[in-house]
């Protein structure tokens, strides 16, 4: 019973509880809204990034993969101008060897991320930009970006990507300012946290298709077939991120790096010499042989998403008309295969392992 003498104490208790609940709600909302700096970007819109760095040094000494202090300028989701100290370094192997502009690893200072309310654990991101200044190099970047978006149409257990219009200014004044369409790839630890995944303890050399969740593995393998990508394998975890998702009894293999895919058709891409194909644009199924009818559900997933996948290309305003036509034609070739029981049998269910 609340008496006149206990009423002030009661009010104080209610006020305290209200403040605590409000604080908890605000903290929870903040964590949901901005768990990482990547999630603060516009996601479905383009992000303008202006990078000031010793660009000449990055290009000339790309094989050293040395970190270079840089300044990154952009506007946040609320339109506020941000100037952020970062470090960049060249990354990759094949792209690094064949490209004038190397792909970049972008690292944010952990302390500054934490001060801004972001998770300091997610502090580095891959940045994919054009390979050279000649030809259709930016179109290739946009094509690869769309491939990531296609996999997102099929499953949430996929790497998110952020489309970027990148300007790189050379502080040494020895290299011309470069502009390129580009994209950022979600941090690997961030991906695992988002999909509730954890590290898999099996040594990569011991991994085999049987070690993976069958439905997820088949979806991934069929997707690789759709985009004409054969530069992947589970034994070496080549272009696959292996993670055990909460609630699953077996791990999943999440694909990335699609510059060797036939749908992208990079000028430096080549097929594995052990495969019976002469060009990366030729499809070859690398999935596992299953019992009769096992691929029916997987095929249906692609049929159900056909319109969404094709529209993703048609509606993408940054890609040129010719590139859109090339991508749609390539995708329609895949759907023609899976919509024909004869072609599906020839190229998938009897062309496996």
Q: How do residues 35-78 score in pLDDT, each as one tens digit?
A: 899 998 987 889 999 999 999 999 999 999 999 999 999 988 77
Q: Residue 81, exposed/middle/buried by CB under 10 A (0-12, 13-18, 19+)?
A: exposed
Report which of 182, 141, 153 is spatially closest to residue 331, judged by C-alpha positions.
153
Which regions of 160-266 does DSSP assign to beta strands (E)? 161-170, 178-185, 197-198, 240-245, 252-255
The reported pLDDT for the residue numbered 236 is: 85
The reported pLDDT for the residue numbered 204 is: 65
Report which of 56, 45, 252 is spatially closest to residue 154, judged by C-alpha positions.
252
Q: Alpha-carbon distance 327 to 310, whole Å?
A: 9
Q: Alpha-carbon distance 271 to 75, whole Å?
A: 41
What crossing angle do the helices spanning 296-304 and 214-227 adopt, rounded to 10°?
A: 50
- Between vectors from CA 102 to CA 259 and to CA 120, what angle results, nearest 5°? 90
Q: Are the C-beta atoms of residues 161 and 124 closer than 8 Å to each other? A: no
The low-confidence residues of the chain, meaning pLDDT below 70, are 1-34, 204, 353
The reported pLDDT for the residue numbered 181 is: 97
User: How are beta strands 161-170 and 47-53 bridged, if at all?
Assistant: parallel
Q: In this predicted model, what pLDDT tens digit does every residue of 228-243 receive, in sequence order?
A: 999 999 988 899 999 9
List the domain boundaries for the chain.
38-190, 196-349
Q: Alpha-carbon distance 294 to 129, whole Å?
A: 39
Q: Alpha-carbon distance 75 to 65, whole Å?
A: 28
The secondary structure of 269-326 as a DSSP string is ----TTSS-SSTTS--------STTTTHHHHHHHHHTHHHHHHHHHT-TTS-HHHHHH
The reported pLDDT for the residue numbered 3 is: 53
Mapping DSSP to helix (H, G, I), strand (E, B) and coil, where does residue 225 land?
helix
Q: Alpha-carbon distance 162 to 348, whole Å?
A: 32
Report which of 111, 112, 92, 110 is spatially closest to residue 102, judged by C-alpha positions.
92
Q: Alpha-carbon distance 44 to 345, whole Å?
A: 37
Q: Alpha-carbon distance 340 to 308, whole Å?
A: 20
Rg (CA), the chain: 24
The reported pLDDT for the residue numbered 16 is: 43
Q: Alpha-carbon distance 166 to 183, whole Å?
A: 9
Q: Are the C-beta atoms of residues 68 and 88 closer than 8 Å to each other? A: yes
């Amino acid at each position: 019973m609340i008496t006149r003498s206990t009423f002030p104490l009661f009010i104080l208790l209610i006020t305290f509880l209200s403040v605590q609940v409000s604080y908890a709600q605000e903290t929870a909302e903040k964590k949901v809204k901005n768990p990482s700096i990547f999630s603060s970007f516009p996601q479905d819109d383009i992000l303008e990034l202006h990078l000031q760095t010793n660009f000449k040094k990055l290009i000339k000494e790309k094989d050293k993969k040395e970190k270079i202090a840089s300044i990154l300028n952009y506007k946040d989701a609320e339109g506020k101008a941000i100037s952020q100290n970062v470090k960049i370094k060249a990354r990759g192997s094949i792209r690094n060897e064949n490209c004038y502009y190397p792909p970049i690893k972008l690292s944010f200072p952990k302390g500054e991320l934490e001060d801004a309310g972001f998770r300091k654990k997610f502090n580095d991101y891959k940045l994919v930009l054009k390979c050279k200044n000649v030809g259709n190099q930016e179109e290739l970047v946009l094509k690869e970006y769309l491939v990531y978006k296609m996999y997102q149409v099929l499953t949430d257990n996929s790497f998110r990507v952020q489309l970027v219009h990148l300007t790189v200014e050379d502080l040494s004044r020895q290299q011309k300012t470069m502009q390129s369409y580009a994209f950022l790839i979600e941090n690997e630890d961030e991906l695992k946290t988002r999909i509730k995944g954890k590290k898999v303890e099996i040594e990569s050399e011991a991994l085999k298709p049987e070690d993976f969740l069958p439905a997820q593995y088949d979806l991934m393998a069929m997707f690789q077939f759709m985009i004409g990508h054969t530069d992947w394998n589970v034994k070496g975890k080549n272009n696959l991120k292996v993670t055990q998702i909460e609630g699953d009894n077996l791990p999943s293999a999440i694909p990335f790096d699609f510059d060797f895919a036939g749908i992208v058709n990079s000028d430096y891409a080549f097929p594995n010499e052990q495969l019976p194909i002469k060009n990366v644009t030729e499809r070859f199924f690398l999935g596992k042989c299953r019992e009769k009818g096992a691929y029916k559900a997987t095929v249906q997933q692609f049929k159900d998403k056909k319109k969404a996948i094709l529209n993703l290309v048609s509606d993408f305003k940054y890609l040129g008309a010719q590139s859109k036509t090339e991508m749609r034609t390539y995708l329609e070739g895949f759907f023609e295969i899976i919509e024909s029981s004869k072609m599906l049998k020839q190229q998938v269910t009897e062309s496996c392992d």
